[in-house]
Amino acid sequence: MRRLFGASGRTVTVALDQAMPRGVAPRLADIAPTYASIAAAGPDAITMFKGLAAAVFAHNTAPVPFIMKVSAFSADFHLTREAVVGTVDEALRLGADAVAVGISAGSSHQVEGFSELAAVTTRAAEVGMPVVCHAYPSGELWTEDKKGSTEAVLYAARAAAEIGVDVVKTWYTGSTAEFAKVVEGVPAIVVAAGGAKADNPLDVLRQAASVVEAGGYGVTAGRNVWGAVDPGKMVTALRAVVHDGERPETAAKLLD
Ligand SMILES: O=C(CO)COP(=O)(O)O
């Protein structure tokens, strides 16, 4: 856990796990320069599937703390059912520092999803491997008024914590006050996803500052890092906000 959370006790983790769920964006297709830019800026960890990790880390086993994603959804084909694509024991053998599992709360596949997560937390506890859960209320069973609400996000995040994960990564709920309700109701370390690509990079930094102000432990950001004009500079700016408490407007100057 100490490897994933810097000296400040917070994390700027970069998620490079999105080709399978969301399609092979050009920055992910041409992964070598994207990875090099991100890694050089020193994120606290990178979340990836094992095959990509094997490719980008090459023969250097641990240049950056590595969170191995062991489940995957595929938005265009199935948003609410995760494929199991790895195990805790594999992650151990590959030198991963943690495993990550996704759950889709409020879906007709919730029972299987929770059971699969529980199998991971049980094995991970036996071998001392931290578990990160990407816990989203992305199921189809939510009524229209509940979809995307703080109540739904809190439910997904709370379920993950109760299944015994160490870190819950979930959706930012729009304001410091609303995200604080999620943090307060979840007995685990809570971090926020970056979310859909923002038009203005300053908004990414403002969101990170709000997460920390709400009591969150940082961010696990994907599209707003690897999709940034300069991914490495975005990692540096996020680190300034999350670890050093820099104002977003000041940190944004690091993007120039
Ligand atoms: O961890 C993530 C995806 O698995 C976060 O991705 P986004 O920041 O793009 O939402």
pLDDT digits (tens, 9 = 90+) for 111-120: 999 999 999 9
200 compared with 7, residue with greater pLDDT: 200
> Is residue 90 classed exposed, middle or buried when 0-12, 13-18 and 19+ CB atoms within 10 A define those classes?
middle
Q: What ipTM did this prediction achieve?
A: 0.95
* 81 neighbors 104 (Cβ within 8 angstroms): yes
Please enumerate in sequence order all residues whose Cβ is within 8 A of that of 77, keeping only pairs 6 or more positions apart, or say none.
none
CB 27 within 8 A of CB 52: no
- Say what the pLDDT of residue 250 is: 98
Q: What is the 3-state secondary structure (H, E, C) of the chain?
A: CCCCCCCCCCEEEEECCCHHHHCCCHHHHCHHHHHHHHHHCCCCEEEECHHHHHHHHCCCCCCCCEEEECEEEECCCEEEEEEECCCHHHHHHCCCCEEEEEEECCCCCHHHHHHHHHHHHHHHHHHCCCEEEEEECCCCCCCCCCCCCHHHHHHHHHHHHHCCCCEEEECCCCCHHHHHHHHHCCCCEEEEECCCCCCCHHHHHHHHHHHHHCCCCEEEECHHHHCCCCHHHHHHHHHHHHCCCCCHHHHHHHHC
Of 62, 74, 137, the C-alpha closest to 98 is: 62
In this predicted structure, the answer to whether residue 106 has a pLDDT above a threshold of 70 is yes
**Domain ranges, residue 51:** 2-255
pLDDT score of 91 more than 70: yes
- What does the pLDDT read at residue 62? 60
Q: What is the rounded average pLDDT of the residues 217-235?
A: 98
Contact 151, 173 (CB under 8 A): no
pLDDT digits (tens, 9 = 90+) for 8-25: 999 999 999 999 999 999
Once rounded to an integer, what is the mean pLDDT over residues 141-154?
95
pLDDT in tens, 32-79: 999 999 999 999 999 999 999 988 987 665 679 999 999 998 877 788
How far apart are the CA of 15 and the centre of ligand 1, in A?
6
Sequence letter at residue 59: H
pLDDT for the residue 41:
96
Share of the chain above pLDDT 70, in %: 98
pLDDT of residue 57: 86
Q: How far is the CA of 122 from the centre of ligand 1 (A)?
A: 25
Give CA–CA dist 139/81, Å, rounded.
9
| Average pLDDT of span 83-92 | 97
Number of separate domains in the chain: 1
Atom of ligand 1 nearest to the CA of 225: 8
pLDDT value for 6: 82
Q: How far apart are alpha carbons 85 and 49 in whole angstroms? A: 8
Alpha-carbon distance of 208 to 204, in angstroms, equals 6
Model-wide pTM > 0.90: yes
Ligand 1 binding site (Cβ under 6 Å of any ligand atom): 15, 17-18, 47, 134, 169, 193-195, 220-224
Active site residue 217: no
Cβ atoms of residues 192 and 219 within 8 Å? yes
Q: Decide if 146 is catalytic.
A: no
Distance, in Å, from the CA atom of 97 to the CA atom of 94, rounded to the nearest integer, reads 9
Of 35, 50, 136, 172, which residue is the catalytic one? 136
Q: How does the average pLDDT of the chain come out, rounded?
A: 95
Q: Which of 35, 50, 69, 169 is catalytic?
A: 169
Which atom of ligand 1 sits closest to the CA of residue 69?
4
Instruction: Inform me whether the pLDDT recorded for 225 exceeds 80.
Output: yes
* Lowest model confidence (mean pLDDT) among 51-55, 211-215, 243-247: 51-55
User: What's the CATH number where 42 sits?
Assistant: 3.20.20.70
Residue 196, pLDDT above cutoff 80: yes
**In DSSP terms, which residues pair with 191 in a beta bridge?**
169
